[in-house]
């Protein structure tokens, strides 16, 4: 799903999400300054056949850029995921990088590369070698011709497991509401093997299953309890 929230985050950062992030001491920015006015940002996923055409003409590296050892490349991939999920906009005293981040979790590729002490091309290579549905890229497209604006990837974000509490979840997908229940036959939920029995018996608990001590109602997403292995 494309992120339709690029133009809805307030310029003065006084919207609810931005304000919360600033209160936490995170580095919040809408990231629209400096973007060509005739462009829009398209979400493209690496290793996804639906987005294959969006990656074909991206410039992958400069001549004689060299290769890094496998161990260093593995560390770069791990650091990239950790930065985008856990550390990017946090203050340095809290283990962060103070990178400008918007309410959709996006950060500039150039900023991420600098923070990790690697080149843009190193980070781009790591991005496409990480498991599918982990990270997403943001590429500029022309509003008039609907073709790529240039051969770069301008932004990057984590597609799942983002830990910054001020994110606007609507920028990752469409919220499911009560009136949508008739459209869904079941909800697929990935969890650990040890949690399966508790889910079958009690349903999903909004506070975290057995870890929730608050008096909250138990939600059942479907009347049919089944376990698929």
pLDDT at position 224 over 50: no
Question: Residue 104 phi/psi, 5° resolution?
Answer: -100, 5
To the question of pTM greater than 0.85 for the whole model, the response is no
Mention every residue, 6+ apart, whose C-beta is less than 8 A from residue 108: 31, 99, 100, 154, 155
Query: Rounded mean pLDDT of the chain?
Result: 85
Domain ranges of the chain: 16-171, 177-229
Return d(Cα 169, Cα 203) in angstroms, integer: 23
For residues 22-35, average pLDDT: 96
CB 103 within 8 A of CB 20: no
What are phi and psi for residue 182, nearest 5 degrees? -65, -20
Element (H, E) at 54: helix 52-55
Confidence (pLDDT) at 217 = 44
pLDDT for the residue numbered 220: 42
Q: Is the pLDDT of residue 32 over 80?
A: yes
Structure tokens at 90: 């946090």
Residue 106 CA to residue 88 CA, distance in Å, equals: 10
Q: Which of 87-101, 121-135, 173-187 has the highest mean pLDDT?
A: 87-101
114 sits in which H/E element = helix 109-115
Model confidence at 12, in pLDDT bands (50, 70, 90)? Answer: very high
pLDDT (0 to 100) of residue 180: 76
139-193 pLDDT, tens digit per residue, is: 999 999 889 999 999 999 999 999 999 999 889 987 777 787 788 777 676 777 7
């Amino acid at each position: 799903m494309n992120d339709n929230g690029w133009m809805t985050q307030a310029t003065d950062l006084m919207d609810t999400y931005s304000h919360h992030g600033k209160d936490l001491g995170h580095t919040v920015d809408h990231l629209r300054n400096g973007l060509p006015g005739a462009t829009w940002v398209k979400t493209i996923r690496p290793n996804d056949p639906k987005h294959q055409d969006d990656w074909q003409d991206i410039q992958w590296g400069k001549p004689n850029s060299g290769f890094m050892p496998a161990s260093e490349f593995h560390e770069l991939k791990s650091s990239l995921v950790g930065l985008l999920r856990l550390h990017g906009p946090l203050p340095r005293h809290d283990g962060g990088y103070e990178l400008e981040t918007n309410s959709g979790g996006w950060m500039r590729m150039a900023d991420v590369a600098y923070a990790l002490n690697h080149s843009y091309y190193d980070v781009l290579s790591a991005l496409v070698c990480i498991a599918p549905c982990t990270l997403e890229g943001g590429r500029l497209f022309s509003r008039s011709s609907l073709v790529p604006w240039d051969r770069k990837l301008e932004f990057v974000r984590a597609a799942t497991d983002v830990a910054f509490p001020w994110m606007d979840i609507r920028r990752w997908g469409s919220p499911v509401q009560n009136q949508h229940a008739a459209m869904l036959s079941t909800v697929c939920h990935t969890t650990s093997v040890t949690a399966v029995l508790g889910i079958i018996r009690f349903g999903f608990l909004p506070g975290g299953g057995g870890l929730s001590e608050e008096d909250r109602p138990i939600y059942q997403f479907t009347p049919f309890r089944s376990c698929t292995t």
